Structure 1
Amino acid sequence: MTTFSIIIPVFNSENTILIALESILKQSYEGFEILIVDGLSTDNTIKIVEELNDNRIKIYSEKDKGVYDAMNKGIHYAQGEWLYFIGSDDYLYNNDVLQTLSKTLNKMKNNVLYGNVLIKGNTGWATDGQVYNGEFSFQKLLKSNICHQSMFYRKSFILKNQLEYDLKYPISSDWDFNIACRLQSKFTFINTIVAVFNAGGISTGKSITEPFLQERKVKYAHLYQKYKPNLIQRLKYKINALIKKVIRK
């Protein structure tokens, strides 16, 4: 039976945490644990979680260096086969998400599975109501990130390759992490909505001062050359972008 470790980094999340948790606890698939990795919240976040009195929820509350530090800690606390990270203000799309995904994971040889998310609100990189963002080639991943609320990572793969979120990237460490994962393993895409992503988190409206946005073309320069699109591919991208723009209007 596939087991999931669902990791929720939290800090002062009393207004949203219950919705996130209920979307998980109501799943038809039961093989999961929930790890609340809290950065010493000063509101009622932990009290709300404790009052659920559910032994599938484990709480770790200690000082951290931000959301990606909490996610790194979650990797090592996890007991499940598959790691899944979700924000405290996001929630699973429906009650059968884990059941649907488990069918693919049980027979999958690749080490990362991803689907789509439904965007709620405008993010700066996606619009309200958009289903983000389909299948990613390596080329597409170098230009934009897969939303981590749609992604599942095999824990043994992450540990074997000593992969973790780089804390020097406070906004885009998950993008850097995904490129690092893709260099070690192919990804599997499933065309289903995994979660609802709420605008307003740290990734919304990325600042140009974010180090990763400036460093990625240097750090991964060899990949940009390797996966540089030819003329026909560039024309296809432009045509597809134009079609999407017309449809939205």
Structure 2
Amino acid sequence: MISVCIATYNGEKFIKQQLTSILEQLAPADEIIVSDDNSKDNTRNIIEELNDNRIKIIDGPGMGSPTKNFEQALKHAKGDYIFLADQDDVWKEGKVSICMKYLKDYCCVVSDATVTDGDLKETSSSFFRLNNTKYGKWYNLLLKNGYLGCCMAFRKELLNAAIPFPEDTPMHDIWLGNVAAFKFNVCFIPQSLILFRRHGHNSSSTARKSTSSLKDKINFRYAICKGLIKL
């Protein structure tokens, strides 16, 4: 069984297109867990109008935190395999089947993505190249984080090890990726499996151009290391 976890907040503009691209690839027994963090727009109604019993909407924590909102969704996931998705992207055909092949040998996979603007016009054919994403747990922890949540899928054992998130977790995907790398194994899939809208409001910090100070970057890496030591 597959669980797709999505954290939504005021996502009415793109959520239907994203959910449709996901549902087309899921089996009848799979599920989509949507944690909606008190959206003020029509997000929830749009999801309900899809009228698909594989979609389960739960109330988010109401804290304005994408990390806490994703954690809420993950806590309700029942699947043996979990995919993360943002509310504003589009899954390419074959994403699920390709990831599942790699998940036979790896606990966590991160695929490449085609980067687009808000209208899905391509701005880069490879997020990996744009971000200088590379394999290596120390590289990703200390130099350049490459764990992009909307491109991640993993086995249930990673979720069991990573939940609950430490209180000072900088972002959900950074934490999950590092737990996978240091406790299990990770594969970076070179194929682009999603259309990744990059518009400044993405859920993952990896998706945005960093404005963090050196002090902030050191602090978030310290927080990750502290959490890993406690596992």
State the TM-score bracket (shorter-chain normalisation).
0.7 to 0.9
Partner-residue secondary structure (3-state), 2:58: strand
In the alignment, which residue of structure 2 is the partner of 1:137?
Answer: 136
Percent identical among aligned pairs is 22
Structure 2 equivalent of residue 227 of structure 1: none
Equivalences for residues 67-82 of structure 1 within 5 A? 67-82=66-81
Compute the displacement of 1:130 (Å).
3.8
1:53-93 superposed Cα distances (whole Å, 9 cap, x missing partner) = 00110000244321111111111100111111111011212
Alpha-carbon separation, structure 1, partners of 2:24 and 2:34: 17
For 1:183, give the aligned amino acid. F
- The 8 Å contact of residues 169 and 210 in structure 1, kept in 2 or not, is answered as no
TM-score by length of 2: 0.79
* Distance verdict in 2 for CA 1:221–1:46, change over 3 Å: closer
Q: How far apart, CA to CA, are the structure 1 residues paired with 2:193 and 2:137? A: 21
Aligned equivalent of 2:2? 4
Structure index of larger Rg: 1
* Structure 1 runs, 4 residues or longer, greater than 3 Å off: 28-31, 162-170, 209-212, 216-222
Preserved CA contact (<8 Å) 2:36 2:58: yes
**How much does 1:33 deviate?**
1.0
* Range 198-207 or range 145-154, more displaced: 198-207
- 1:92 paired residue number: 91
* Alignment partner, residue 38 of structure 2: 40
> In structure 2, how many angstroms separate the alpha carbons of the residues matched to 1:191 and 1:12?
31
| Matching residue's letter, 1:148 | G
Shift of 1:28: 6.8
CA-CA distance at 1:151 after TM superposition: 1.2
State the distance in 2 between where 1:210 and 1:59 align. Answer: 38
Which residue of structure 2 lines up, in the alignment, with residue 128 of structure 1? 123
Q: Encode CA deviations 1:177-212: one digit per residue, 9 max, x unaligned.
A: 322321101212333222122112253222215975
Task: Tell me, yes or no, if the aligned pair for 1:163 and 1:177 is still in contact at 8 Å.
Answer: no
1:9-28 to structure 2, matched below 5 A, reads 9-27=7-25
1:111 equivalenced with 2:107 (yes/no): yes
Which whole-Å CA distance do the structure 2 matches of 1:130 and 1:15 have between them? 23
What's the offset of the Cα at 1:112? Answer: 1.0
Alpha-carbon distance between aligned partners in 2 of 1:31 and 1:164, rounded to the nearest angstrom: 26
Is 1:208 equivalent to 2:207 in the alignment? no
CA contact (8 A) 1:5 1:34 kept: yes
Provide the rounded CA distance (Å) in 1 between the counterparts of 2:29 and 2:3.
9
Mark the runs of 5 or more structure 1 residues left unpaired by the alignment: 223-249
Distance 1:210 1:71, change over 3 A: farther
| Structure 2 residue runs without a partner (length 5+) | 227-231
Q: For this pair of structures, how many residues does the alignment match?
A: 211
Q: Deviations over 1:130-186 (max 9, x none)?
A: 412165122331222221222112123321x2444445355x442243223211012
State the one-letter code of the partner of 2:109.
L
Distance change (3 Å), C-alpha of 1:162 and 1:217 = closer
The superposition leaves residues 38-58 of structure 1 with CA deviations (integer Å, 9 ceiling, x where unpaired) of 011121111101111001100
In 2, the alpha carbon distance for the partners of 1:60 and 1:221 equals: 31
**Cα distance in structure 2, aligned partners of 1:31 and 1:192:** 27
Compute the TM-score of the two structures, normalised by the length of structure 1.
0.74
SS in 2 for 1:128: strand
| Secondary structure at the counterpart of residue 123 of structure 2 | coil
Separation of aligned partners in 2, 1:221 and 1:162? 13
CA–CA separation in structure 1 for the residues paired with 2:140 and 2:216: 14
The equivalent of 2:168 in structure 1 is 168
**2:35 alignment partner AA:** V
CA RMSD of superposed structures (Å):
2.8
Letter in 1 for 2:217: L
